[in-house]
């Protein structure tokens, strides 16, 4: 990726990645659909667990992005031996991470659910889902870390294939486990969790088999523990991890404040966020492409290609936003109606989606420039930005809105204001860092 047309590299990485993440989102949409078919309470219970589920994804995903950046830079420097030692250390890190996630998740989830107002059957239904997911943390970590290594060499096709097959398999398993049959009793939301864990387990095996076929794992040197690699892992991986953790905390904060409006609003938030993710899918492909291309070119000190990659990604993102806004405004009511017939849920969800449409490009700008900072190994700013965007400002704004008993749509539009302020700052800061690369 240090030679050749950058536009072609972005296309070759972003398109398979976006297709894969489309099916990943549809995987989550399917879970939401079946939860809605059980009851509004089941839909709300699934929505309630989303922030905790995202914490697992945040930690596994954030640390794995560090793996992509480090291996990509090592490959760009033509230091294959060091890249392979990074792989050894990442395997140790992934196992340790899975153990910590499982233990801490099981201890914390009941307390977190109760903070969000869950009790009685509502609480037991939410815990029956999230506890199974937490027990399967090892599979999520395995999938993310294997994919991170493949991303470092620009291979997004394998993950795409897993996500496509996973979606169809999840649809079958969700239907079977929720409805029951062939010796399996109806399991409700617990069945949705079992389906997810089975697919993640199969995905971990599939990704590792393909990783083993790549040149990355061929002729692996003897493992030599190097505390510098561990330190670099933490330096590179912690900022995106904290960033994603604070995103999860941000969802938790939003859920906490809107829960005062009732279960139907919690359910609406869960559904509308899934729909929003569909329109953000192309940006995920762009993020993966930017991180992969920038990492290798930064390692090779081809800084003009780093700048060209980011500017091109932002132009592509602008086109995606214009198209996405049209579809989100024209199809939101229909999409909400797929998941629920509850008019109160639909109405609350529409308010969120109409606000979210104006923020799509802001999200893209933030994510693209985060990938840039990770690729040039300067991700420290992400922690401070996330504290501002996900924690400090939302708590201040929502507390103020709550004090004045503001209507629900004020909450939705305050999120838009915060993300656009963050995007403007990120673009300015990233341009500054790009200028410093050339000096």
- Kindly state the greatest CA–CA separation across the chain: 68
Report yes or no on 426 lying in a domain.
Answer: yes
pLDDT score at 401:
93
164: tokens are: 């496509």
Contact by Cβ (8 Å): 188, 177: no
Sorted by sequence, the CB contacts under 8 Å of residue 254 that are 6+ apart come out as 269, 394, 398, 411, 415
pLDDT score at 166:
92
The Cα 52–Cα 163 span in angstroms is 22
pLDDT score at 361:
92
**Which pTM does this prediction carry?**
0.71
pLDDT score at 1:
64
Sorted by sequence, the CB contacts under 8 Å of residue 297 that are 6+ apart come out as 1, 2, 76, 303, 305, 306, 309
Report yes or no on 91 lying in a domain.
Answer: yes
- How many domains are contained in the chain? 1
Report yes or no on 331 lying in a domain.
Answer: yes
Domain that holds residue 375: 6-437
Which residues are paired to 274 by β-bridges? none
What is the C-alpha end-to-end distance of the chain, expressed in Å?
23
pLDDT score at 18:
80
pLDDT score at 400:
94
Report yes or no on 305 lying in a domain.
Answer: yes
pLDDT score at 168:
93
Please tell me what DSSP assigns to residue 260: G
DSSP-based three-state secondary structure for 232: helix
Report yes or no on 152 lying in a domain.
Answer: yes
pLDDT score at 42:
77
What's the gap between Cα 26 and its chain centre? 14
Report yes or no on 122 lying in a domain.
Answer: yes
The Cα 291–Cα 65 span in angstroms is 8
pLDDT score at 358:
92
250: tokens are: 């941000």
How wide is the angle at C-alpha 376 spanned by C-alphas 231 and 209, nearest 5°?
70
Q: Which residues of the chain have pLDDT under 70?
A: 1, 51, 438-439
Report yes or no on 424 lying in a domain.
Answer: yes
Report yes or no on 1 lying in a domain.
Answer: no
The Cα 65–Cα 245 span in angstroms is 14
151: tokens are: 């991303």
């Amino acid at each position: 990726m240090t030679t050749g047309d950058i536009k072609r590299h972005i296309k070759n990485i972003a398109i398979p990645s976006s297709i894969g993440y489309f099916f990943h989102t549809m995987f989550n949409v399917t879970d939401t659909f079946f939860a809605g078919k059980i009851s509004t309470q089941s839909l709300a219970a699934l929505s309630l667990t989303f922030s905790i589920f995202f914490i697992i994804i945040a930690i596994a995903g954030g640390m794995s992005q560090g793996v992509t950046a480090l291996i990509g830079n090592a490959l760009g420097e033509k230091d294959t031996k060091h890249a392979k030692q990074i792989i050894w250390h990442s395997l140790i890190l992934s196992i340790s991470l899975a153990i910590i996630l499982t233990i801490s998740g099981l201890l914390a989830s009941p307390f977190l659910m109760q903070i969000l107002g869950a009790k009685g059957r509502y609480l037991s239904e939410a815990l029956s889902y999230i506890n199974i997911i937490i027990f399967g943390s090892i599979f999520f970590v395995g999938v993310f870390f294997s994919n991170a290594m493949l991303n470092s060499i620009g291979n997004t096709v394998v993950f795409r294939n897993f996500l496509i097959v996973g979606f169809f398999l999840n649809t079958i398993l969700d239907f079977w486990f929720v409805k029951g049959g062939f010796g399996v009793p109806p399991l409700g939301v617990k069945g949705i969790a079992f389906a997810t864990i089975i697919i993640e387990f199969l995905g971990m095996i599939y990704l590792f088999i393909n990783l083993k076929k790549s040149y990355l794992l061929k002729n692996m040197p003897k493992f030599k523990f190097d505390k510098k690699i561990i330190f670099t892992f933490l330096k590179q991986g912690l900022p995106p991890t904290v960033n994603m953790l604070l995103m999860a905390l941000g969802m938790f904060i939003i859920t906490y404040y809107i829960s005062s409006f009732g279960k139907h609003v919690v359910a609406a938030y869960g559904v509308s966020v899934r729909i929003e993710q569909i329109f953000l899918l192309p940006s995920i492909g762009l993020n993966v492409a930017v991180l992969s291309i920038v990492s290798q070119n930064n390692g090779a000190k081809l800084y003009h290609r780093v700048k060209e990659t980011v500017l091109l990604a932002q132009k592509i993102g602008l086109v995606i936003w214009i198209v996405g806004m049209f579809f989100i405004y024209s199809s939101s009511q229909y999409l909400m109606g797929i998941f629920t017939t509850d008019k109160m849920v639909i109405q609350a969800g529409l308010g969120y989606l109409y606000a979210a449409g104006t923020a799509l490009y802001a999200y893209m700008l933030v994510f693209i420039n985060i990938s840039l900072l990770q690729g040039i190994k300067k991700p420290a700013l992400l922690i401070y930005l996330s504290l501002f965007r996900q924690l400090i400002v939302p708590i201040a704004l929502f507390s103020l809105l709550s004090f004045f008993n503001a209507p629900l749509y004020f909450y939705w539009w305050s999120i838009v204001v915060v993300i656009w302020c963050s995007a403007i700052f990120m673009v300015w800061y990233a341009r500054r860092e790009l200028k410093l690369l050339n000096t």
